[in-house]
Structure 1
Amino acid sequence: MRKPPLLLLTGLALLLLAIAPCRAETPAKTGALPAPDPDNGGITLPPGFRAVVFADNLVVGKDVGALRFLAVAPNGDVYAKTKQGPILALRDTNGDGRADVVKEFGGGGGSGIMFHDGWLYHSTDKDVYRYKYTPGELVPSAAPEHLIVDLPNQRQHESKAFFFDDAGALFVETGSPSNSYGGANDRRFGAKGSDATDFLKIHGGFWRFDPAKPGQHQSDGYHYSTGHRHVVAVAWNPVAHSAFFAMNGRDNLHDVDPEHYSIADGAELPAEEFHQLKEGLNIGWPYTYYDGLQKARMVSPEFGGDGRKRAEAGRYPDPLIAFPAHWAPLQMAYYDGAQFPAKYRGGIFLAFHGSWNRAPLPQRGYNVCFIPFDAAGRPTGDYEIFADGFAGSTNFTSTRDARFRPCGVAVGPDGSLYVGDTEKGRIWRIFYTGDTAPVAAVAAAQPAAATPATPAVAVNTKGRDTYLMLCASCHMPDGSGVPNLQPSLRDSAVVRGGAATLIRSILLGPAAVLPADRPKYSNVMPGFDAALNDAQAADLATYLRQAFGGGAPAVTREQVKAGRSPR
């Protein structure tokens, strides 16, 4: 028999390779666990646990914002939200523990995502949608249903966390776009609070909705709880028949009231509070905060507190657990799997994004904790750090120096735990092997490249003092900013550009001056027109240029006066 020509064989091989991905785009059958990465993908885990990098670089070089929450389908497909972009659908087709198919669908950004009762639900910063889930279908073919419309979205604490109770009701949280309701000086020296009754009617609580009814507004929901600052970490415990949540505590105690709160107080207070959600619950924001060191609920300085004045006894509940300050609890997952040892079953895993506002002290958090519950579904009151090493260092003051920042956490159908990072878009799959052999050492994070020395310049000390009082809590003392919260001022085009734009940005706030299509950040900078006189504003602008503007010319009070004129 005559042999086929080599060119024909090559052509057939190429054809088979071209169609192979189409045939292989089905999830791998569950079975043996994958081979772990030698260093567990750069993180540390308890003995017997290993990890593999399921996906990497999902947000690097893409205009989608940070990677947010995760959900895992019944067949093991993983879904990840992006802060400003689409949903990412990931599939492992060959069982090696790594996603080899990544597709995008949907849009609108946001954080919340989960599977429930045959649907994939997700939330933007103002809406809730759901897709009908068809088993085996990676990207939903059906159009989404728009369930909840136009929730408050004021670009601070805007993420919409949600969960379902065991009766099928949908609960959605609306955060408070404020630090502690401190008025025009919120987060800054001298902030003064006022009656928040009307504000809390539409912010700072959970609302209950019918998940099968499209087109609902907030007014269609039942106001279930109040007194939250912002909650994104929440999970239903089916044993307790109740939800539990962790609240992001307030910031800037020292900045608001340096007379009564030291720099250390600002870094170590207040606690991140862990509570059981009950109908009518009021946990006291903005009037109070929980001091985890004194183990007491305290009156906020905006409302007359001084670090010693305690809240009215019995009016607001103490947390079940007081986590360290500024760790930033994000996604939470109830462990209903059977793969992990018995101590983990029925407990909750909680991802902490890590602090950004402890400078000049080192930042802390950047881990995944495990919260044990007893047989009756009650938290024991303890917690342990389960996964760590994400930051790559324990001695840094800027979040930009952290290697990874945990955010999403979800449990797979085989009992594996998936953890996602916001900044570089890495997702780990963590599983239990029982093997306690030593794990390869995690490479130490490389220090940031040294900044070239610059000639010494005279510093406008009055402007520096104003910057430290009004601006440093958000932009950081060194001007490095905080990813997603406030931009870096170092070599900023606004700082080193025309004086008129810088002056008006300080006086009126960037939103009133800069183009509408500029990059947006969660902490909205207010205008300081009423807070600063011409000389103070000129000193501040001059200091910004001296410290971060590459030697741009000083700003005079006459220029500030002209900048106040209507245009």
Structure 2
Amino acid sequence: MPRTNRPSPGPQAALIAAALAICAVLPAQAQNIDKLKQMKVSGTDLNIPPVPQTGPAADAIRKNLEKVKLPAGFRISLYAMVPDARHMAVAPSTNMLFVGTRKTAVWAVTDRLSTGTASEVKAFAPSLNFKVPNGVCWTRDGSLLVAEHNRVLMFPAAEFFYEGPDVAVAEVVPQGQLIPVEEESFNHGARTCRVGPDNLLYITLGQPFNVQPREKLKLYEQVGIGGIVRMALDGSKREVFARGVRNSVGMDFNPKDKTLWFTDNQTDGMGDDIPMGEINRATQAGQFFGYPYIVAKTRITDGGYDKDPIPAGAVNPQVMTDAHAADLGMAFYTAKQFPAKYQGGFFSAQHGSWNRTKPVGARVLFTSLKPDGTADKTEVFADGWLDGDTGVYRGRPVDVAVMKDGSLLVSDDFAGAIYRITYSAP
């Protein structure tokens, strides 16, 4: 498949070098989880080096943010330098958040002085050996959950006990038990998580193929690969909540009607403009969302699935977005700082295409809802990380999160940063 206009190296080179230096001073990281579960020390150096927040990389990112376009009254600024920043979990009680990555780090980001800019970024629980800890979310009682590629960990009161390398931890799902080990893949292995209104843990499980082969259909349906699973917070009572999903890397509950909304990335190799991306709404357990038979009203030709009848009851997407724009994280806007137009709707991040003749995406969308809770209109909210003339990325948004003051955070794993969007009446 043709691929042009590959993104050139961004301004994060110095930041990545610093991050690698930080990792180099940490221990080789033999698996210490058994020690931590017994409240024993691991022997890891108590001093955790912080990520530099100033310098050429930060200056370059601030310069690039001048090119980001927002509606009148909105302003974007650099909140923190965070290497490989992916999904975010805003702490319940303090001015901090935890940030997952597709590598081996979870970052603790703290605004100690309440200035609206992070004052400290450092590795969280560096005595552990994380593996693709992309998904981070909170329980009602303030425990941090980290959904890795094939494990789920819980950290009680993480926002209060994150200063040292050793933290209390429990295994919700032990290593190798989230999916069958033989189904582990470097492709589509980033999980996201949310604790629902029912106090159950929801986890997205992308399927590793472009289009899964027929011999995998039964297994994936049983395990929940290519769908969303849910379970009790101790890992028990696991069930498949949603099926027929290719690769969801973002979800959130609408607090008004308790429905679960999620993004879905669709099949590659069918052309620039099909199939379109999806944002879906699950109103109950057990729903089927069409994949691999149909997505965004397009039949899937690989594997001959277009010759099969579409399973009865397949749920249509609420929103169809530009093909290959890579819709990832999303969050309902539950605060009051932004104008009434945005209150009750949701923001979603588009990472940007890698396999389209002319790249699209690298922006933040906003979707309003109708009185009945379904999607109304979707519009571009923040744009400018992708140069339309050259096809070069200056950043690639991954996730969005609402802060307690009503500002909106946007993570960017390409630039290695988190941005903060605020509003004041023009």
1:304 shift after superposition: 5.7
**Deviation beyond 3 Å, 4+ runs, structure 1:** 37-42, 134-142, 309-315, 374-377
> Which residue of structure 2 aligns with residue 378 of structure 1?
374
* AA in 2 matched with 1:164: V
Pair 1:88–1:194, CA change in 2 (3 A): closer
* AA in 2 matched with 1:82: T
Task: Write out aligned runs for 1:297-446 (5 A).
Answer: 297-303=298-304, 305=306, 312=310, 315-358=313-356, 361-380=357-376, 382-391=377-386, 393-396=387-390, 401-435=392-426
Q: Is contact 2:87–2:411 with CA below 8 Å preserved after alignment?
A: yes
**1:378-403 per-position Cα deviation (integer Å, ceiling 9, x unaligned):** 322x2011111112x01345xxx311
Alpha-carbon distance in structure 2 between the residues aligned to 1:175 and 1:329: 13
Pair 1:171–1:344, CA change in 2 (3 A): same
> Which residue of structure 1 aligns with residue 27 of structure 2?
none
Q: TM-score, normalised by structure 1?
A: 0.58
Tell me, yes or no, if structure 1 residue 210 matches structure 2 residue 235: no
Which has the larger displacement, 326-335 or 76-85? 76-85
Q: Is contact 2:385–2:393 with CA below 8 Å preserved after alignment?
A: yes
* AA in 2 matched with 1:287: Y
Task: Write out aligned runs for 1:14-413 (5 A).
Answer: 40=65, 42-56=67-81, 58-59=82-83, 66-74=84-92, 75-106=94-125, 107-117=130-140, 118-133=142-157, 139=163, 142-149=167-174, 150=176, 151-152=178-179, 153-181=184-212, 183=213, 196-202=217-223, 203-211=225-233, 213=234, 221-253=238-270, 266-277=271-282, 278-290=284-296, 296-303=297-304, 305=306, 312=310, 315-358=313-356, 361-380=357-376, 382-391=377-386, 393-396=387-390, 401-413=392-404
Q: Is contact 1:299–1:311 with CA below 8 Å preserved after alignment?
A: no
Alpha-carbon distance in structure 2 between the residues aligned to 1:95 and 1:172: 32
1:239 shift after superposition: 0.6
Structure having the higher strand fraction is 2
* AA in 1 matched with 2:422: F
Query: What is the aligned residue count?
Result: 352
Paired residue secondary structure (1:302): helix
1:342 shift after superposition: 0.9
Q: Is contact 1:239–1:376 with CA below 8 Å preserved after alignment?
A: no
Paired residue secondary structure (1:268): coil
Q: Is contact 1:298–1:310 with CA below 8 Å preserved after alignment?
A: no
Q: Is contact 1:227–1:285 with CA below 8 Å preserved after alignment?
A: yes
**1:361-389 per-position Cα deviation (integer Å, ceiling 9, x unaligned):** 21001101011123453322x20111111
**1:235-258 per-position Cα deviation (integer Å, ceiling 9, x unaligned):** 0111111101111111112xxxxx
Paired residue secondary structure (2:253): strand
Unaligned runs of 5+ in 2: 1-49, 51-61
Q: Is contact 1:125–1:158 with CA below 8 Å preserved after alignment?
A: yes
Paired residue secondary structure (1:200): helix
Alpha-carbon distance in structure 2 between the residues aligned to 1:162 and 1:246: 13
Q: Is contact 1:180–1:286 with CA below 8 Å preserved after alignment?
A: yes
Alpha-carbon distance in structure 1 between the residues aligned to 2:323 and 2:159: 42
Q: TM-score, normalised by structure 2?
A: 0.76
1:116 shift after superposition: 2.8
Greater relative CO (CA pairs within 8 A, separation 6+): 2
Q: Is contact 2:242–2:288 with CA below 8 Å preserved after alignment?
A: yes
1:101 shift after superposition: 1.3
Paired residue secondary structure (2:389): coil
Pair 1:177–1:39, CA change in 2 (3 A): closer
Q: Larger Cα Rg: Structure 1 or Structure 2?
A: 1
1:93 shift after superposition: 2.8
Pair 1:408–1:166, CA change in 2 (3 A): same
1:113 shift after superposition: 0.9
Q: Is contact 1:52–1:97 with CA below 8 Å preserved after alignment?
A: no
> Which residue of structure 2 aligns with residue 460 of structure 1?
none
Paired residue secondary structure (2:155): strand
Alpha-carbon distance in structure 2 between the residues aligned to 1:137 and 1:195: 42
* AA in 2 matched with 1:73: A
Alpha-carbon distance in structure 1 between the residues aligned to 2:193 and 2:329: 11
Paired residue secondary structure (2:221): helix
* AA in 2 matched with 1:303: G
Alpha-carbon distance in structure 1 between the residues aligned to 2:321 and 2:285: 23
Alpha-carbon distance in structure 1 between the residues aligned to 2:219 and 2:109: 43
**1:28-84 per-position Cα deviation (integer Å, ceiling 9, x unaligned):** xxxxxxxxx79855422111011220112x32xxxxxx3211121132212211221
Alpha-carbon distance in structure 1 between the residues aligned to 2:311 and 2:133: 38
Unaligned runs of 5+ in 1: 1-24, 26-36, 60-65, 184-192, 254-265, 291-295, 436-567
Alpha-carbon distance in structure 1 between the residues aligned to 2:411 and 2:396: 8
Which has the larger displacement, 106-115 or 348-357? 106-115
Pair 1:289–1:384, CA change in 2 (3 A): same
Structure having the higher helix fraction is 1
